[in-house]
Amino acid sequence: MENNQNNKKPSSELRFDLVSKDWVVIATGRARKPETFKNNGRAKEEGLEKDCPFCHIETQAPPVYIYPDDKEKWEVVVFPNKYPAFSEGNQLHERAVGPYQVMDGLGFHEVVVTRDHRQNMAQFSAQKVKLVIDAYQERYLEMMNEKHINYVSIFHNNGKEAGASMVHPHSQIIAMPVIDPDLRRSLDGSRIFFENHGSCVHCAMLEWELEEKIRIIFENDKFVVVSPFAAKVAFETRIYPKEHKAYFERIKEDEKEKLAEALQVALNKICKGLVDPAYNFFIHTSPCDGKNYDHYHWHFEILPKTSVWAGFELGTGIQISTIEPEKAAEYLRRIE
Ligand SMILES: [Zn+2]
Ligand SMILES: [Zn+2]
């Protein structure tokens, strides 16, 4: 990748919370004016194809990935985000501000766009979902070896309530110098279980789930779609490789086909069953910081926007799911 932005001011900085040990990103390059946070100042959704920048890829930065490689007939295209949360650079400046710790928001922020303006991923065929997964993997492999990159986060927001600022279906990939707190907790939990039991916590859960069957929504020979026992939100859904695998980016061709089928089925059931809800999904996989994460088991988490974080959730981190995961799974199993 070209390093033509070295002289530019980074678009963000990372600040470390001394108490919670969490990193947060503070946008500096595109910081908003305080007034724009007023409720009526929110940006409008761009609903029409003619106004949609993702329908007109010539208005975007040159693609870093395009499939097929044809400006007219492309199905999936990836380009740098116009408003990156992390931006390219050579030097990772870290500094102390009084008792605080700050570093540049160095990294990459890309957008994965599929062709059809209106067709949301839940309506894709499995073949089309696979094209998106191909793009995720290609870009992951490209970014993971870049300087200062320790984690690559792949996620998809669908619907305004889920944080999608554009109607046009798209995913995002953010490569960053730090390991995010959510993943850190997940990694730590998995490592501690491994140290105590000599086996993978996710494999232990999956073994039980596949025997009990009550929280299984769908399975094929490589992947399982399940309502987690301790779901954070109503209809939370996860997709795991059945075999123990720590690194998403090492997924093979035949596995990608099965993953595409599982993701297509899961999204389709959620969207039919809950009548087109807003949702987010993301991949949790091992960091690319050179350390060993063989204990980890990568997976997808799909979170339909079935609730909002209110005072209790924000104040305690405890989330209230308003349906039993067993009932959610039973309901989704029946949706064709
Ligand atoms: Zn569009
Ligand atoms: Zn495992």
* Per-residue pLDDT reduced to its tens digit, 169-189: 999 999 999 998 889 999 999
Instruction: Report whether pLDDT(36) > 80.
Output: no
**Which contacts qualify for 257-261: CB closer than 8 Å, 24 or more apart?**
257/126, 257/130, 258/220, 258/221, 258/222, 258/223, 259/130, 259/133, 259/222, 259/223, 260/126, 260/127, 260/129, 260/130, 260/133, 261/126, 261/129, 261/220, 261/223
Q: Quick one: pLDDT at residue 49? A: 81
pLDDT digits (tens, 9 = 90+) for 53-89: 999 988 888 999 999 998 889 999 999 998 888 888 8
Q: What residues pack around ion ligand 2 (CB closer than 5 A)?
A: 200, 202-203, 244, 297
Q: Quick one: pLDDT at residue 1? A: 40
Q: Quick one: pLDDT at residue 272? A: 94
Binned at pLDDT 50, 70 and 90, residue 287 comes out as: very high
Q: Quick one: pLDDT at residue 220? A: 98
Say which ligand is closest to the CA of 114. 1
Buried b (16+ CB within 10 A) or exposed e, 150-176: bbbbbebbbbeebebebbbbbbbbbbb
> What average pLDDT does the segment 134-156 reach?
96
Angle at 62 between CA 139 and CA 53, to 5 degrees: 100
**DSSP 8-state code for residue 148:** T
Say which ligand is closest to the CA of 246. 2
> What average pLDDT does the segment 9-17 reach?
78
Q: From its phi and psi, is residue 94 left (phi > 0), alpha (psi between -120 and 50) or beta?
A: beta
Residue that is written with structure tokens 């696979």 in the block: 130
Instruction: Report whether pLDDT(52) > 80.
Output: yes
Binned at pLDDT 50, 70 and 90, residue 255 comes out as: very high
Q: Is 200 annotated as a binding residue?
A: no
Q: Quick one: pLDDT at residue 279? A: 95
Binned at pLDDT 50, 70 and 90, residue 191 comes out as: very high
Specify which of 21-30, 37-46, 322-331 reaches the highest per-range mean pLDDT: 322-331
> Which of the residues are catalytic?
170
φ/ψ of residue 205, rounded to 5: -65, -45
Q: Is 168 annotated as a binding residue?
A: yes
Instruction: Report whether pLDDT(44) > 60.
Output: no
Least confident interval from 36-45, 265-274, 279-288: 36-45
Two structure tokens written together for 44: 């409008």
Least confident interval from 29-38, 47-56, 210-219, 251-260: 29-38
Ordered by where they begin, the domains of the chain are: 12-37+45-180 (3.30.428.10), 182-334 (3.30.428.10)
Say which ligand is closest to the CA of 47. 1
Q: How far is the CA of 88 from the centre of ligand 2 (A)?
A: 34
pTM: 0.90
pLDDT digits (tens, 9 = 90+) for 93-124: 889 999 998 988 899 999 999 999 999 999 99
Q: Is 203 annotated as a binding residue?
A: no
Least confident interval from 3-7, 110-114, 327-331: 3-7
Residue 322 vs residue 207, higher pLDDT: 207
Q: Is 55 annotated as a binding residue?
A: yes
